[in-house]
Amino acid sequence: MTTITRHDIEIEISGNLPPVGTNAPSFSLAATDLADVSLNDFIGKKVLLNIFPSIDTPTCAKSVRAFNEQAASMDNTIVLCISPDLPYAHKRFCEVENIDNVVALSTFRNPEFGRDYGVTMISTQRRGLLARAVVVIDGKGKVIYTELVPELTQEPDYQAALRSL
């Protein structure tokens, strides 16, 4: 079983990130307007998945801000910020923070996303939330970079993810 930590407390997660070189698992998630958005909507573009537990935590908010500023300006690239938060929470955060270069998506209708990407926390009080991870997918749907952040309070390696693009 794969584990991460939060302040030295181990948290089991549901599996492993999709291996580099494999096809990214398909998904359909809810946008801030409740519309369904799928991975297939971005065929031909590089897609960076910024996966996290909740937009209402400091580290998660930092990652959305950072990717909004850094990766969103890259050519032919889309950044999807994904968490179990309701679309309304994503919308509120993006409006308050003037976040407009990323697509905020909720897994609330499709919790299988966490299972398919191997990031659902399955132990401790955080069970059901998603671990912090980054997955980069090329324009043909192949995984080209992954990072499972080992400590939940730690930010992802932004530069490594951006270099993969």
What is the rounded average pLDDT of the residues 67-75?
Answer: 83
Residue 33's contacts (CB-CB under 8 Å, 6 or more residues apart) are: 87, 91
Q: What is the pLDDT of residue 54?
A: 96
Residue spans of the domains in the chain: they are: 13-164
Q: What is the pLDDT of residue 119?
A: 98
Catalytic residue among 4, 29, 49, 60: 60
In CATH, what number does 13-164 get? 3.40.30.10
Q: What is the pLDDT of residue 1?
A: 75
- 113-123 pLDDT per residue, tens: 999 999 999 99
* 35 — pLDDT class (breaks 50, 70, 90): very high
Q: What is the pLDDT of residue 71?
A: 73
Residue 76's contacts (CB-CB under 8 Å, 6 or more residues apart) are: 44, 45, 46, 139
DSSP class of residue 13 equals: B
60 is catalytic: yes
Alpha carbons 97 and 67: distance in angstroms, whole number:
13
